[in-house]
Chain A
Amino acid sequence: MEINIKHGDNLVIELTGRLDTITSTELADAVAKETITENLIIIDFKNLEYISSAGLRVLLALKKQFSEENKEFEIHNLNDVIKEVFNVTGFINILTVK
């Protein structure tokens, strides 16, 4: 998976590939390394193929972290497969999806 982090008005994290068992830890590590001053964090799924439960675990952890820091957290551009995963697990209820 490729992770491309862009600072600016908002923090944009672009993911390319699969967010699964192996790559989810890469995402967690990459975000942990960043000094985040922005108030809105966007993860862009435009080029993400699919996400497994391991990926969901990282997203929940990030949600918790940003909630504690009073930061907004959004996920953009979900494909059908990912939307379905979000629906059946209820993640659609706790994450801001656009």
Chain B
Amino acid sequence: MKVSIRTKIILLGAVLSILATGIALLVSYLSSKSALTNQLDTSVQNSMLDLHDTFYADLFRDDYIEGTEAVKDYIVGIYNNNPDVPEFESVEEEKEYLTHLYAYMYYIYPDFKGLIMYPGLAAFSKQYIALRSLLNSAKILSGGNKAYIAFYDDDRDRLVYMIDDSFGKLEYLNEERFPGTYKTNMAKPSDDSVNISTYSTGKTIIKSIPIYKIYDEKVVGDPIAYVFLEYDYNKTNEEIIKTTLINFATLGSVALLLIILYALVSHFLIVKNLKKLSSSTMEFTKALNSGEEIKSINPNVKSKDEIEQLSESFVSLEDEIINYISVIKEETITKERMNAELNVASKIQLAALPNKQYDDKDISVRAYIQSAKEVGGDFYDYFYLDETHLAFCICDVSGKGVPASLFMMRGKELIKSKLLSNNSIENVLYDVNNSLLNNNEEGLFITAFVGIIDLEKDELTFVSAGHERPFIITNEGIEQLKCNSNFILSGIKDFNYKSETIQFKKGTTIFLHTDGLNEAINAQREEFGYERILSSLDETKNSSLDEKITNLNNKLKEFVGDEEPFDDETLLFVQNINLELDEKYENPGFEVIEDYTNKFNNMFGFLEQKKKYEFGIIFDELLNNVVSYEKADVLILEVNAKLEKDTIKLTVSSNGQEYNPLLNKDNYIDKYSDDLQFGGFGVTIIKNLVDSIRYNRKDGKNVLTLTKKI
């Protein structure tokens, strides 16, 4: 969930103001409590002092002091008869006791007029009322809640109540402070009328002054009694709470106003500017994504604070991004152009190489080349030096990529041009080596295998200049050529390369490759190696050159898996072909026609299309005859096509009943008629297509021998 900064600011402000209000309230509570307590203390103190003055003033002295004395004597009279207020077990019992007490007083003072006065006090009712008025006014003036007079019973350590401030009510009944009752938990007050005694019970504060008898303007004897003023703290607390509540309301409203003000100010100072920044960022991102030309967008924050700083940083960040994008664009364009150029270079390089397939009646060549980079350092070449000599080579330039490819082009042209000048391989390589050494500061070198096949002598003359040893494939088997390894090209000046010559019979194939094949590694860092090459060649010993290449590459791919090729790979097969297609069919059906035709087209692929079609017709006519008409227990059909110089000799023999198709009359139609008979056209067509045709019955076989120039 996203929470806006404004919300956060307001929440923070609210929390802080609540906290501040709370602290202010606490301080206000504590200070007003202490102030009110002090105020109370002072006011009670002053009232006590007033009382003191009142008691000892000349005018009322007798009334108060003597009154006090009289009331005390009276109370003591009662009290001494009932020193211990019994513990009442019920309210009824208590009332009974009190009724008794009042009745007793009534007995003594029969003129009791009502509840306003205790009946027994009627005799000194004037003083009693004066004392009571005095207490009452002291209570009101001091803000206290109780005022009373009591004497201290030293014998029993008790304070005995005498009179209080109440008018007209028997409230002491509830307070247990009616005349004659006592309190044991209060210490004896101080007898010093100036140093007022103070009691504090936590809930109440009580102060007292003694009342003495005065004789001849002097205090005599022990105090008669003590005046007490009580103030209830709860009353103070209520006031404090009231004040605090008012304060709370005031402070709360002020705090609320402040929060609103704070939110508004922060909105203008922060949120508004942040929004500007945010919307500028979004606008900029949108512009970036649109792909159109972009300009930096200035949020225009003028807050003279960190946000303005951020806004400035944002603008410079935008400029950086725009700059960066344009740099990337330029780099991409450059890279694309370089790639395009490399592609062209790669095409030019591949175009410099001869076809990957070549077939004529003497030679079949199949090549495969795969560069690790766009352009490579491997190359192969083959070309006729004259009608009976085919030169070929496979080379590997040290290094890869553009430098290797340029060196490769140089090496290739040198070798070809020098070989074409009818030099021996030894001389050619001597010259090429020295030429390449000139101006070769990069120290590049070439390993090469250069060979010339003599088609008349069926010989191969070659030089291996530090190259991988090729494989020789014959009907007898496959083996790696044992040969001298001469030094690499562009290695040592004036090196004399020694050539070797071996028999290279018709039907023999030489397989050459660069180290990109045998040194290809898999994820376990193992090399593909010669054993795997040998086994792949062995698997395809009866297959075409194309299948040999496919199988090698499949095996290689299987071996290396996902590893990137690290070197160029080149494969070259050169075959001195023996063109003879010899097939033998038992109990043949018509399908043998297509079988032989396809095999023939495959082997004699170099023939022009027209010739292939003509041979197709010949096979169809001849084999159709045998399959259709000849019978034998096991019919054996043998077909042999063999290239002899520029002629193909075809022999068809079959062991059926004697049948010479040449005896059939030629057929030729010169006009159409409804009863035209069909027959004899096959022989007519064949005779027209071949240069010679002969029939023999030999060893129980029909033998047709045909020749046709190609």
Give chain A's interface residues, CB within 8 Å of chain B. Answer: 18, 20-22, 49-54, 56-57, 60, 63-64, 67, 79-81, 84-85, 88-91, 93-94
What 7 A-B pairs come out closest when comparing CB atoms? A90-B669, A94-B672, A52-B620, A53-B682, A53-B681, A50-B613, A90-B668
- The CA of A88 and the CA of B669, in the complex, are separated in Å by 9
**Which B residues between 603 and 632 are near A, CB-CB below 8 angstroms?**
610, 613-614, 616-617, 620-621, 624
Scoring B residues 662 to 679 as 1 if CB is less than 8 Å from chain A, else 0, what string do you get? 000001111110101010
- The CA of A90 and the CA of B614, in the complex, are separated in Å by 18
Out of B617, B624, B667, which one reaches A85, CB within 8 Å? B617
Chain A residue nearest to B597 in the complex (CB): A18
Out of A22, A50, A64, A79, which one reaches B593, CB within 8 Å? A22
- The CA of A53 and the CA of B617, in the complex, are separated in Å by 9
Scoring B residues 638 to 680 as 1 if CB is less than 8 Å from chain A, else 0, what string do you get? 0000000000000000000000000000011111101010100
- The CA of A95 and the CA of B591, in the complex, are separated in Å by 30
Q: Is B236 part of the contact surface with A, judged by Cβ < 8 Å? A: no
- The CA of A79 and the CA of B678, in the complex, are separated in Å by 23
Known: A89-B667, A94-B669. 14 other contacts (CB 8 A): A20-B593, A22-B594, A49-B613, A50-B613, A52-B617, A52-B620, A60-B676, A60-B678, A67-B672, A67-B674, A79-B613, A88-B688, A89-B681, A90-B669
A81-B685 contact, Cβ under 8 Å, with A20-B593, A22-B593, A93-B669: no
- The CA of A49 and the CA of B688, in the complex, are separated in Å by 18
A residues in contact with B668, CB < 8 Å: 88-90
Tell me how many residue pairs across A and B have CB atoms closer than 8 Å.
Answer: 78
CB of B610 within 8 A of CB of A80, answer yes
CB of A93 within 8 A of CB of B671, answer yes
CB of A52 within 8 A of CB of B682, answer yes
A-B contact pairs, 12 of them (CB 8 A): A20-B593, A20-B617, A21-B620, A50-B613, A50-B617, A51-B617, A52-B685, A57-B678, A64-B674, A84-B688, A89-B667, A94-B671
CB distance from A60 to the nearest CB of B (A): 6
- The CA of A26 and the CA of B348, in the complex, are separated in Å by 49
A residues in contact with B620, CB < 8 Å: 18, 20-21, 52, 54
Chain B residue nearest to A25 in the complex (CB): B590
CB of A20 within 8 A of CB of B616, answer yes
- The CA of A56 and the CA of B684, in the complex, are separated in Å by 12
Q: Which of B610, B672, B676, B684 has the most CB of A within 10 A?
A: B672
Out of A18, A89, A90, A94, which one reaches B616, CB within 8 Å? A18
CB of B670 within 8 A of CB of A93, answer yes
- The CA of A54 and the CA of B688, in the complex, are separated in Å by 17
CB of B681 within 8 A of CB of A56, answer yes
A21-B593 contact, Cβ under 8 Å, with A64-B674, A89-B668, A90-B670: yes
Chain B residue nearest to A20 in the complex (CB): B620
A residues in contact with B682, CB < 8 Å: 52-53
Chain B residue nearest to A19 in the complex (CB): B620
CB distance from B686 to the nearest CB of A (A): 9
Chain B residue nearest to A48 in the complex (CB): B613
**Which B residues between 545 and 578 are near A, CB-CB below 8 angstroms?**
none
CB distance from B411 to the nearest CB of A (A): 44
CB of A53 within 8 A of CB of B685, answer yes
Interface of B is mostly: helix
Q: Which of A52, A64, A90 has the most CB of B within 10 A?
A: A52
CB of B681 within 8 A of CB of A63, answer no
- The CA of A84 and the CA of B686, in the complex, are separated in Å by 11
CB of A85 within 8 A of CB of B616, answer no
- The CA of A98 and the CA of B245, in the complex, are separated in Å by 121
B residues in contact with A60, CB < 8 Å: 676, 678
CB of B672 within 8 A of CB of A63, answer yes
CB distance from A87 to the nearest CB of B (A): 9
CB of A89 within 8 A of CB of B674, answer no
CB of A81 within 8 A of CB of B613, answer yes
CB distance from B446 to the nearest CB of A (A): 46
A residues in contact with B688, CB < 8 Å: 84, 88
- The CA of A63 and the CA of B669, in the complex, are separated in Å by 14
CB distance from A23 to the nearest CB of B (A): 9
- The CA of A47 and the CA of B151, in the complex, are separated in Å by 150
CB of B621 within 8 A of CB of A53, answer yes
- The CA of A20 and the CA of B591, in the complex, are separated in Å by 11
B residues in contact with A94, CB < 8 Å: 669, 671-672, 676
- The CA of A87 and the CA of B668, in the complex, are separated in Å by 9
- The CA of A22 and the CA of B598, in the complex, are separated in Å by 15
A residues in contact with B594, CB < 8 Å: 22
Q: Which of A21, A90, A93, A94 has the most CB of B within 10 A?
A: A21
CB of A81 within 8 A of CB of B617, answer yes
Q: Which of B616, B671, B674 has the most CB of A within 10 A?
A: B616
CB of A89 within 8 A of CB of B590, answer no
- The CA of A67 and the CA of B675, in the complex, are separated in Å by 12
CB distance from B213 to the nearest CB of A (A): 155
- The CA of A89 and the CA of B665, in the complex, are separated in Å by 12
- The CA of A64 and the CA of B591, in the complex, are separated in Å by 29
B residues in contact with A79, CB < 8 Å: 613
B residues in contact with A90, CB < 8 Å: 667-670
Out of B614, B621, B676, which one reaches A81, CB within 8 Å? B614
CB of B685 within 8 A of CB of A49, answer no
Out of B614, B669, B674, which one reaches A91, CB within 8 Å? B669
Chain A residue nearest to B672 in the complex (CB): A94
Out of A52, A63, A64, A91, which one reaches B624, CB within 8 Å? A52
B residues in contact with A81, CB < 8 Å: 610, 613-614, 617
CB of A89 within 8 A of CB of B670, answer no
B residues in contact with A64, CB < 8 Å: 674, 676
- The CA of A73 and the CA of B667, in the complex, are separated in Å by 23
- The CA of A57 and the CA of B680, in the complex, are separated in Å by 11
B residues in contact with A85, CB < 8 Å: 617, 685
- The CA of A80 and the CA of B678, in the complex, are separated in Å by 23
Chain A residue nearest to B683 in the complex (CB): A53
CB distance from A18 to the nearest CB of B (A): 6
A50-B614 contact, Cβ under 8 Å, with A88-B685, A89-B685: yes
A residues in contact with B678, CB < 8 Å: 56-57, 60
CB of B590 within 8 A of CB of A21, answer yes
CB distance from B231 to the nearest CB of A (A): 127
- The CA of A21 and the CA of B682, in the complex, are separated in Å by 11
CB distance from A20 to the nearest CB of B (A): 4
- The CA of A22 and the CA of B671, in the complex, are separated in Å by 28
B residues in contact with A93, CB < 8 Å: 669-672
Chain B residue nearest to A91 in the complex (CB): B669
CB distance from A10 to the nearest CB of B (A): 21
Out of B591, B593, B684, which one reaches A88, CB within 8 Å? B684
A residues in contact with B669, CB < 8 Å: 89-91, 93-94
CB distance from A68 to the nearest CB of B (A): 8
CB distance from A22 to the nearest CB of B (A): 5
- The CA of A52 and the CA of B685, in the complex, are separated in Å by 8
- The CA of A22 and the CA of B624, in the complex, are separated in Å by 9
CB distance from B390 to the nearest CB of A (A): 31
